[in-house]
Amino acid sequence: MPVARPGNGMAVAGFVFGLLSVILSFLGLVTLVEIILAIVFSSSGIGRANRGAAHRGLAIAGLLLGIVGAVFYLLFGLISLGAGWLV
């Protein structure tokens, strides 16, 4: 009977927060909190996966989505600041 690998809730949480940070990247401070949580949880999930837990790919995807969310967050911030000069 095969032995199941332990779960990796940190990887799943990092992926969920990373996905939300990309989708909701225009919401300001809410997105900033999501980005930070995505990066922290995904990094922890990668560490757990390196020690034998499951979902390494999900943790990496969460980390990348958190970084993409941060880029979108900064772009939307710069665009909104620049739009003030047009008015």
pLDDT in tens, 12-36: 999 999 999 999 888 888 889 999 9
pLDDT in tens, 52-71: 899 999 999 999 999 999 99
74 assigned to some structural domain: yes
32 assigned to some structural domain: yes
**Mean pLDDT, rounded, for 61-84:** 88
Q: What pLDDT is recorded for position 1?
A: 75
37 assigned to some structural domain: yes
Rounded CA-CA distance 44/3 in Å is: 23
CB atoms within 10 A of CB 38: 29
Rounded CA-CA distance 44/46 in Å is: 5
Predicted structure pTM score = 0.86
Judge whether residue 48 has pLDDT over 60: yes
Number of domains in the chain: 1
Domain span at residue 75 reads 28-79
